[in-house]
Amino acid sequence: MYVPAMNPATLAFISLPPTAYDHIINPGNLVFMVPIGGSIAFFSFLMALVMVNAKRNEKKDDYKNETIQRIAASPDGGVSVLQYLREEKLEAAKKRWERIRLGGLILTVASPGLMVFMFFFNRAEHDPDHDYLFGLIPLLIGAAMLAYTYWLAPKE
């Protein structure tokens, strides 16, 4: 029996018999597999993040309740507990105002950079529009946040 010599050029045209796994290995299916795998990974990470955050908040609440019980067990417990809760509420309000101030400051400082970027981007495209003025929106939002926290917010 005569068997012709096989070279790589002729091997490319030989079709292999189909297997049960050909539909899985199909490169066209990768288009669907990458987003599906990415979605699974993202939501798994999100689930782990939520669980860790819930556990941390639960532990924080346990420590807070334990502290309140210890203060209440002291001789002047009722007044001390009320004072502790009042101070905690003031501290939470201060942190909230500081976060608002920081957000306002970041928006106010970042918006001129956005305006410059948009101006030169439009200039490179020879676009006569004044799209860079959209950078005024975060500037005004940041200024409003800063003005609220410094002048309009309720005082302690």
CA–centroid distance for 99 within its chain: 16
CA–centroid distance for 121 within its chain: 27
Whether 130 and 143 have beta carbons less than 8 Å apart is answered as: no
Q: How far apart are CA 140 and CA 55, in angstroms?
A: 38
Q: Is 53 helix (H, G, I), strand (E, B) or coil?
A: helix
Q: Tell me what pLDDT residue 30 has.
A: 74
Q: Tell me what pLDDT residue 67 has.
A: 87
Whether 97 and 149 have beta carbons less than 8 Å apart is answered as: yes
Q: Tell me what pLDDT residue 39 has.
A: 95
Mean pLDDT in order along the chain per 10 residues (156 residues): 57 59 64 87 96 96 89 83 89 91 93 87 71 88 91 77
Q: Tell me what pLDDT residue 53 has.
A: 96
Q: Tell me what pLDDT residue 52 has.
A: 97
pLDDT tens digits, 28-53: 777 788 889 999 999 999 999 999 99
Q: Tell me what pLDDT residue 123 has.
A: 73
